[in-house]
Chain A
C-alpha cells in the first residue's frame, strides 16, 4: 500500500488519458489532489519498505527526487499497521483522530483482556494454542472474514431494477468489511460503550460468527439467487 508508485504510472496517463479525473492519475495515496506537483513521490516511511529499496540501490536515486511528507500518524514505529490506521480513520468523526485512536486502542485492550482471561481459564495446552491473543491479528482476521466476494449492483432494465451480482474489487470489499463492522458496533444499547461492543464484534467476526459475517453470507446468498440476472451486467 505504501510502496512507491512507478514513475511511468504517474506521468504517462496525464498526457494520454483525459477521461479519468485528474486526482485519480496523481496519487492513490492521497484522497484529494494535494498541493504537490505530480512528480512528487509518495513517502517511504517504514523500515520494511525501505529495506528492499536499499538492497536494489533505488534509494540513492529516490533520495534525490522530491517526495511528499508523510502524515502525522504514518510513523516508522514498530506498532504501525496500515490496516489499523485505516480502521482508525473510519472510526474518526470530524477529524478527531486522537479520540478515534483512543477508542480503537481501548477496544484492542478489551480484546486482549478477554482473550488473556480465556487463556488462563483454558485447561489444556491445545486449547490455549487456539486462543489468539494479539488484538491486531484478531482485527486482521475479522476483516478478512467479513470481506464479501461478490456484490449486487442495481441495474434498470425495462422499468424494473434488478439486483445484479458481480465481482468486487479488493479495495471495495475491504471498505465494506470495515463499514459493516462499524455499523454492527454502532447498533448497540446506549449504555454500552463503543470500545466494548467493537471488541465483541471483532472477536465474533474473527471467529467467523456474528452479525457481520451473517450479513456477508446473506449478500452471497442473494448473489447466488440472482445469478439469472448476471447477464444484465453487459447487456
Chain B
C-alpha cells in the first residue's frame, strides 16, 4: 500500500516537473531536452511570427495558454546539428521537412527560425505558399507583369510579404553593410541606385506596390550576391514549398485562363532562391499535403508531393521526416496540457486519447478541446 502511494506521489511529482525546460535558446538545445517545452519570448514572437509562421490553430492556442511554448523535437535538433556541422562556404544545403498532416512541420520550422534569428541569419521566410497561389479572397489583386512577358504578378501579396520580411529582419536591415550591387530603374523618375541599402529596396516595394514583385526578384538576387560575398548569412524557410510544383493554381487571368505556378513571378524568384548555386546559406523547405488540393494529396512523401520537377529542382537535399509523438513526447505533451488546463479528468483517459489520436500532435490537441 505504502509503495503504491509512493509510486503515485512520484508519478505526480515527475509529471509536474519534466515537461518544461528553462533553456530558451535553441542553439543550446540538445538531446536532453527532447520532448520538453520551451517558451518563446513575446517580443520575439511579435517580430518573427506576427504576419504568419505559426499555424492558425497554434496561434489560437498561444492566446488561450497566454504563452507560446514549442516542444523541442528530434527533427529540429537534427537540422540544427546539421547546420552547426556543415561548412557554410559550400553550396547551400537544402533540408526538406515532410510528414503527415498535423505532425508539426510548421512548428519545427518555427523552432528553426528562432535558431536562425538568434544566430544572426538574414531570414527569408515564406509563411505559406498557398496563400499566394491557392487562396482566393474576393478581390485578389492580379496584374500582368510589365517586366516578364506573359507572366502574372500578385502585387498585394508581394507587398505584404515584403512587410513581413522587413519586420523579421529589422535589426539586420539597419546595418549599413547590406548594399545593392547595381542600379534598378523602375520607371523614368524612380530608380534605386547601386550602393543604396537593401532596406531602401524593401521600402520601395512596400510604398510602390506596383513594383513589389520585381522588388522581390531584385532582393532575391541581391541576397544571393551578399551571401556569396560573405556579407551576411542567409536562412531561407519556405512552408508549403510543394505548392510551387502543383500543375495548377487558382489564379485566373483576365481572359479566364488558369494560371500555372511557373507563370507567377513570385514562383520564379523563390525557385531561383532555392537553387544551390550560392553559398553561405541554409534552406529549409516543407512538403505539405495541405498546400495542394485534397484529391492530389494521397501521400505525404516528398517524391509524390513535389512531382518530378520539384524533386529534381531540389535534388541533393536532406530529407527530415517529422513524425508523430513518441511515448515520452506524448507524456510530456499531456502533462503540459494538464498544466495549462487544456486537458482535465482522470489520468487513465490519456491512454484513450493516445489511442484515439494515434499520437498525432494536432489530432491530440483537437481531441482535448471539448474535454
Contacts and interface: CB of A to CB of B under 8 A. Distances in A.
B357 to A, nearest CB: 13
B371 interface: yes
B349 interface: yes
Name the prevailing secondary structure of the A interface residues.
helix
Question: At the interface, is chain B mostly helix, strand, loop or mixed?
Answer: loop
A20 interface: no
Given A108-B369, A108-B370, A112-B370, A133 B344 contact: yes
B103 to A, nearest CB: 21
Interface stretch (A114-122, A161-169, A210-218): A114-122
Contacts, number: 39
A116 B369 contact: no
Contacts of A79: 345, 349, 352, 371
B60 to A, nearest CB: 8
Contacts of B295: none
A104 B371 CA distance: 11
Interface bin, chain B: 10 to 19
B352 A117 contact: no
Contact of A78 (B60, B64, B340, B349): B349
Contact of A105 (B63, B341, B348, B370): B370
A233 interface: no
B22 interface: no
B150 interface: no
B346 interface: yes
A24 interface: no
A87 B63 CA distance: 29
Nearest to B371: A79
Contacts of A119: 341
A135 interface: yes
Q: Which 9 A-B pairs have the closest CB atoms?
A: A108-B370, A105-B370, A109-B369, A78-B349, A120-B66, A113-B64, A116-B341, A109-B370, A116-B64
Interface of B: 60, 63-66, 340-342, 344-346, 348-349, 352, 369-371
Interface of A: 77-79, 104-106, 108-109, 112-113, 116-117, 119-120, 133-135
Given A78-B352, A109-B369, A116-B65, 4 more contacts: A77-B352, A105-B370, A133-B344, A135-B371
22 contacts: A77-B352, A78-B345, A78-B346, A78-B348, A78-B349, A79-B349, A79-B352, A104-B370, A106-B370, A108-B369, A109-B369, A112-B369, A112-B370, A113-B64, A116-B65, A116-B341, A116-B342, A117-B63, A133-B344, A134-B344, A135-B370, A135-B371
